[in-house]
Amino acid sequence: MNDSLKTSAALHDVKYEIRGQLAGQANELERRGYEVISLNIGNPGLFGFRTPETMRLAMIENLSQAEPYCHQKGIFPAREAVVMQQQDRGIHGVSAEEVFIGNGVSELIDLSLRALLNPGDEVLVPSPDYPLWSAAVSLNGGVPRYYDCNPDNGFQPDVKQIKALLGKKTRAIVVINPNNPSGAVYDRATLEAIVNLAQTCNVVVLADEIYDQMVYDDAEFIPMATLMDEGVCLTYSGLSKVYRACGYRVGWCVFSGNLDAASEYIHGMELLAALRLCANVPGQWAVQTALGGFQSIKDLVQPGGRLYQQRQAVIDRVAESPYLSMHAPMGAMYAFIKLDDQFDGQLDDRAFAQALLEDKHVLVAPGSSFNTSYTDHFRITTLPDVDTINVVFDRIDALLGQFA
């Protein structure tokens, strides 16, 4: 008799390999005394990036008000600060009632999909995607349908494919901009085309914009909500990346567009938010200071800024390598790097990542873990200092030289 406990069938289609088997092997290597350079997660605090001091002080000064539960949508000063940011970006008609604060964007993705989907409903998700989106769709009874953001097109969404995928069961289109993992920043024409399709077919746009101010060179970030008048848009952002406060676990979701059409959806989201009582309260007190204060991210992403220089170091090392290529990331904090065609048939992304960890003690994320149909890419974060980046690429080139 087999007495082993079975997991939920809902987990069968759920993958999150960024913290999966390879990460577990890296932890085991570290327990055995090896030093592993972990590039699998965009976690600024691990690489010496500090949360702005004003945000830390705002949280400390309001700790006495952070002991009770707050409103299920979040504290009013935080939600009002988000409203002001939306208004500054040209998004009107939004009040604090349309803003939800969550334990990071991750929780809000789950809540908003749970409030929207019935079993079998479909959500269009980009490929490559941040795999939480696919997982959250599946866990909430939906079916992820992938539209390509092809490397040959600079990882821009294939609008024609989106149109072809739209059907009677489609409830939402996910847009991740700036994109994780590719670093692509979407142009206005592409975003307008997606909005037109969504509004014509009466589907919700779910705009993951957690890297909204993290753009480089002449790239322009265009908030999706500024393009939507008739349809319903949910915009997700938070403190984790731009404000280097991952551990605060503070994200927000904003409903905009046709709010009358969204009223039942908003009510459902409020019900689910109430069931979990409220989000982490201390971190919420940093939101008003973050959004209203000096935006230090702008210095980091300009030439001479640390994020800019580290990204440039990655671009330079890939260009110098006989084994690698990539589209320069124009946003976010990642590089999505392609293995040369000479390795086709002998070294795919998973085998490469496994060998790199075992032989060179560098942890990266295989590209196919971001739900791609191809297996020749891998993702690294561009957060390490330039010296560490050079060490990493020395080890990568040395490993690939053995297979070339």
Q: Is residue 57 part of a domain?
A: no
Question: Which one-letter DSSP state was computed for residue 18?
Answer: G
Please report the pLDDT score of residue 9 as a whole number.
79
> Of 292, 319, 353, which residue sits at a domain end?
292
| DSSP line for 136-197 | HHHHTT-EEEEEEB-GGGTT-B-HHHHHHH--TTEEEEEEESS-TTT-----HHHHHHHHHH
Smallest Cα–Cα separation from 96: which of 281, 321, 287?
287
> Of 260, 292, 324, which residue sits at a domain end?
292
Same domain, 230 and 350: no
Report the alpha-carbon distance of residue 183 to residue 164 in Å, rounded. Answer: 25
Q: Is residue 61 part of a domain?
A: no
Same domain, 118 and 204: yes
Same domain, 278 and 353: no
Report the alpha-carbon distance of residue 146 to residue 106 in Å, rounded. Answer: 20
Read off the CATH number of the domain in which 244 is found. Answer: 3.40.640.10
Report the alpha-carbon distance of residue 213 to residue 117 in Å, rounded. Answer: 30
Same domain, 41 and 119: no
Report the alpha-carbon distance of residue 169 to residue 185 in Å, rounded. Answer: 28
Please report the pLDDT score of residue 147 as a whole number.
98
Same domain, 43 and 129: no
Kind of pairing between the strands at 377-381 and 365-366: antiparallel
Read off the CATH number of the domain in which 23 is found. Answer: 3.90.1150.10
Please tell me the total count of domains within the chain: 2
Non-local CB neighbours of 69 within 8 Å, separated by 6+ positions: 277, 278, 281
Same domain, 358 and 269: no
Domain with 230, as residue range(s), is 68-292
Please report the pLDDT score of residue 279 as a whole number.
95
Please report the pLDDT score of residue 398 as a whole number.
97
Same domain, 201 and 312: no
Residue 391 — left, alpha, or beta (φ > 0 → left; ψ -120 to 50 → alpha)?
alpha
Please report the pLDDT score of residue 1 as a whole number.
54
Q: Is residue 315 part of a domain?
A: yes
Is 322 in contact with 340 (CB distance < 8 Å)?
Answer: yes
Report the alpha-carbon distance of residue 247 to residue 252 in Å, rounded. Answer: 15
- The H-or-E segment that residue 237 falls in is strand 232-238
pTM, two decimals, is 0.94
Report the alpha-carbon distance of residue 199 to residue 197 in Å, rounded. Answer: 6
* 313-369: pLDDT as tens digits: 999 999 999 999 999 999 999 999 999 999 998 899 999 999 999 999 999 999 999
Report the alpha-carbon distance of residue 382 to residue 361 in Å, rounded. Answer: 17
Same domain, 35 and 85: no
Question: Which one-letter DSSP state was computed for residue 4?
Answer: P
Q: Is residue 60 part of a domain?
A: no
Is 255 in contact with 234 (CB distance < 8 Å)?
Answer: yes
- Over its C-alpha atoms, the chain yields an Rg (Å, rounded) of 21
Smallest Cα–Cα separation from 102: which of 203, 195, 210?
210
Same domain, 196 and 326: no
* 259-285: pLDDT as tens digits: 999 999 999 999 999 999 999 999 999
Q: Is residue 55 part of a domain?
A: no
Same domain, 396 and 337: yes
Q: Is residue 44 part of a domain?
A: yes
Q: Which residues of the chain have pLDDT under 50?
A: none
Please report the pLDDT score of residue 19 as a whole number.
74
Is 190 in contact with 159 (CB distance < 8 Å)?
Answer: yes
Same domain, 91 and 177: yes
Same domain, 344 and 381: yes
Smallest Cα–Cα separation from 359: which of 36, 124, 4, 12?
36
> Of 292, 326, 359, which residue sits at a domain end?
292
* 277-309: pLDDT as tens digits: 999 999 999 999 999 989 999 999 999 999 999
Q: Is residue 58 part of a domain?
A: no
Kind of pairing between the strands at 334-339 and 377-381: antiparallel
Q: Is residue 346 part of a domain?
A: yes
